[in-house]
Structure 1
Amino acid sequence: MNSPLIELKGISKTFGKTTILNEVDLTIYEGEALVIIGPSGTGKSTILRIIAGLLAPDRGKIYIRGEERKGLIEEHKDAMNISMVFQQSALFDSLTVDENVGFSLYQRSRISRDKIRKLVEENLEKVGLPGTADLSPAQLSGGMKKRVSFARAIMSDPDDPSSCPAAILYDEPTAGLDPIASTVIEDLVRQLQDSSNTGCGTYIMVSHQDSTIRRTADRVIFLYGGKVQWEGKVDEIDLTDHPMVRQFFSASVEGPIRVIGS
């Protein structure tokens, strides 16, 4: 096993009177493909936002490459860059694909616009969308929007190695897509992990979709009741007799997972 990249220790989060995460411990290792699964509303996306530094836990500690991180992302500079791909792609409708993908560099770097445009086109090529830089999000299909958000996530300044994301967080990247479009996205996730020129060898994903879980995960954790209930390698999903895992993958209403509204 590689060295720990991200560590969550005793992480708790409550919204109102509802406890979403209850002293969760989680370690993500260098080069790992981790998928977090479980019923809706169990805190999976909350974990991603806490890792990204977009949401602060109520209790617990977060370590990035062994260094404790305190506060939100705008309050400090992490020992590494973490990118996030949101469930609904989160593209700016008023901007072109070029402006969306290159947004951070256009806003914050001293790189010339011509060079940024070239980097944008290179990243669009990596995600299978050459020639789309001047389109608007309204001209894209759902699957194309997802890929544009991937291109944005891997965008970095070639003169600043620290800007290259060491980890990508994917929140339901295949939600709402048809099976073929989902396969394209699943393949792309793996390609970006394997590509030596993206620097994104580690990712953490939240997914409900069976094919996505099985095709993109090395390790799986099952979250329910605010705690990690089960974890194992992806090929152990069909071998475990854990009742929650069995109920989840059989889509049964009978079992220890409480069915909302029943």
Structure 2
Amino acid sequence: MEPIIQLRGISKAFGNSVILDGMDLDIYPGQGLGIIGPSGTGKSTILRIIAGLLAPDEGEVWIRGQKRQGLIEDGNDPVYIGMVFQQAALFDSLTVEENVGFRLFQQSHISHQKIRELVEAKLAMVGMVDVADRYPAQLSGGMRKRVSFARAIMSNPEHPEDNPEVLLYDEPTAGLDPIASTVIEDLVRELQHQAGCGTYVMVTHQSSTIRRTTDRIVFIYQGKVQWDGKTADIDTTDNPLMRQFFNASIHGPIHVID
């Protein structure tokens, strides 16, 4: 099976701090990929490079065999990529309807009534009904996360080629209680089958989210992929980085920041 997204020789530094150092990564269609590793190792940076929101200093991004030139606004990728940000990133001054339908309000000629119907359909998919007229401040943290999911999977009937095919999740369960986290984890899997977004990349530190939402794991450390394998193998691998990470041990090859 050919990768849908390929990163080749990706390097990125911020000032004197090298975050990614010649990293390679393949993302396959229909797979839930988890990117894990210690804090500050560039996991969110990888998502932003994949999304075309951040340019690497070196290396290439290939989307379905086509090399990306510049950032996302500089051209059209052959695959539309949606992103769910860590803090939901909703516009506080807009209603839920305006947040979820933002792209359609800005870039389409669809009537307001039709956009309302499309928004309500996506909200229903994430278990959020009768909230279209509320503002983000009126929602709980878990509810805001689900609204951000609805926005990420919003489709444009005028341009079906722009419908999201790949989703990027940046710590979607961060800051949520265990029950709310389970709701979000279940939703990730449901959307994989219901929303046509069968391929996704998940950045997370939470063990339950790793185990319940991913099929494959890559472990990032010192700017490179240090382990790549099936989620089912994380408890049996003898990789010392993986063992230290999942045992939450301060002893091992991962440098502990005081």
Fold match by TM threshold 0.5:
yes
% same residue: 67
Give 1:82's aligned amino acid.
I
Give 2:68's aligned amino acid.
R
Aligned pairs, number: 258
Deviation at 1:3, TM superposition (A): 2.4
In structure 1, stretches of 5+ residues that fail to align are none
Partner of 1:224: 221
Determine if contact 2:108/2:158 at 8 Å carries over to the other structure: no
Deviation at 1:187, TM superposition (A): 0.2
Partner of 1:127: 126
Secondary structure of the structure 2 residue equivalent to 1:13? strand
TM-score, normalised by the number of residues in structure 1: 0.97
Partner of 1:108: 107
TM-score, normalised by the number of residues in structure 2: 0.99
**Cα RMSD after superposing both structures:** 0.6
Partner of 2:240: 243
Superposition misfits of 4+ residues, deviation over 4 angstroms: none
Q: How does 1:3-18 map to 2 (within 5 A)?
A: 3-18=2-17
CA distance in 1, matches of 2:233, 2:91: 40
Which whole-Å deviations, capped at 9, do the CAs of 1:226-257 have from their partners, x for residues lacking one? 01000110010001011110100111100000
Secondary structure of the structure 1 residue equivalent to 2:146? helix
Give 1:149's aligned amino acid.
S
> Does residue 137 of structure 1 match 2:136?
yes
Which whole-Å deviations, capped at 9, do the CAs of 1:201-228 have from their partners, x for residues lacking one? 1000100000000000100000000010
CA distance in 2, matches of 1:150, 1:236: 29
Secondary structure of the structure 2 residue equivalent to 1:55? coil
Give 1:181's aligned amino acid.
A
> Does residue 167 of structure 1 match 2:166?
yes
Q: 1:253 aligns with which of 247, 250, 253?
A: 250
Give 1:48's aligned amino acid.
L
> Does residue 200 of structure 1 match 2:197?
yes
Secondary structure of the structure 2 residue equivalent to 1:9? strand
In structure 2, stretches of 5+ residues that fail to align are none
Secondary structure of the structure 2 residue equivalent to 1:4? coil
